Amino acid sequence: MKTICLYFQVHQPLRLKRYRFFNMGKDHHYLDEASNRAIMQEVAANCYLPMNSLLQELIHKYGNKFKVSFSITGLAIEQFRTYAPEVLDSFRALAATGSVEFLAETYDHSLASLANRDEFISQVEAHSTLIQKEFGQKPTVFRNTELIYSDSIAETVSSMGFKAILTEGAKHILGWKSPNFVYASALDQKLRVLLRNFKLSDDIAFRFSDRSWNEWPLTAERYVSWLTAPDLPGELINLFMDYETFGEHQKASTGIFEFMRYFVDLSLKSKQLKFATPSEAAKKHQPAAIFSSPYPISWADEERDVTAWLGNELQNEAFQTLYKLRDKVVQLNDPDFNYVWNFMQCSDHFYYMATKWFSDGDVHQYFNPYGSPYEAFINYMNVLSDFTIELDRRAALQHAQQASVEEHCVLA
């Protein structure tokens, strides 16, 4: 009997408004509130609410035989609170069933793991605190932004007390080995590694409605037959995908919700498949081998590396300029500046600057509100420039106030 581990990523960035050079020094409101509200409410109606309702239905029908897991970014939860509180309520209801596990990640869906260890740890701790507050669970499994993984990142994650980590079953790392086993992290073998089966995951996430695909239309019966095929190696099938697959990327008219309903039904009726959360899977299955990746990998594009975010000069300049500000932001410790610092770290901003287009280039197009990578870069850097000016001004004011207080104390 094979174990199915279903994991869904829930994330919506806080999008920047069109911010021009002439706004600098005058306008310090950087977000496109109208767009953020409209997109959140649209995705809530198309995906979050109907899919959460379906999962509730399946859990009610099958009890603890059906399990699922999520990681929900802090930025998404903030927007649920503001624009779609009913979505947050529906996730809380799922948490109450006991059949849903919530994973930790970076609060801002950031690339901090590639920039600054202290910032990375701070964001993960903030996110774990948020998940415990909202859903009553202290995460024991970690999922980094875009499944970014390296040996050093895994070592940091293990040092924070996590028991398992999710990442991509990248061919250039696995070689002949199968992603359908639990692995042990190279630098700390107590940390279990769960690898995404990208072929079976992408059959749903990307190819489900593709009429040019030779397996279209994909039925639940055929999909389950692939999972139960005698020649499928391994003992664990990790199906990891964006939650927006259901109803947003794959519209309801494609039959994606019906597929999910019958997929679960047929999997359990097969007597050859069962569902487990990542923590259950990591605990049950012994590691088959060591998993080592000296350099960062991810689940993006054909290369499965980080060049979707840091693959050109525009992206790297923006990234380096941003993280040079960290010490100033931390020292100032002002809630308003911390808020901007957080949403400016969101990986989506760098994704919009990508100049590469491969098999999932349509995904770049789908999420990108800009006409070109250069436009995305200019808009981001205009906002970052104004933020830097204001940060320096506020830091100077704070320093002057502290000096005044110290002088007053000496005179007294």
CB 261 within 8 A of CB 303: no
Note the Cα 70 to chain centre separation in Å: 9
Q: Which helix H or strand E contains 61, and what residues bound it?
A: helix 49-62
Nearest to 34 by CA among 19, 62, 14: 14
Task: Let me know if 406 is exposed, middle or buried by CB neighbors in 10 A (0-12, 13-18, 19+).
Answer: exposed
56: tokens are 């509730």
The candidate with the shortest Cα–Cα distance to 341, out of 327, 353, 355, 351, is 327
Check: CB of residue 280 under 8 Å from CB of residue 137: no
* Catalytic site residue from 101, 105, 134, 146: 146
3-state secondary structure of 104: strand
* Assigned token pair, 338: 């911390």
CB 105 within 8 A of CB 145: yes
Return the amino acid letter for 384. Answer: L
For this structure, is 146 an active site residue? yes
Nearest to 72 by CA among 260, 301, 242: 242
At residue 206, φ and ψ (nearest 5 deg) are -115, -35
How many Å apart are CA 242 and CA 240, to the nearest integer? 7
User: 10 Å Cβ neighbour count for 39?
Assistant: 19
Catalytic residues: 146
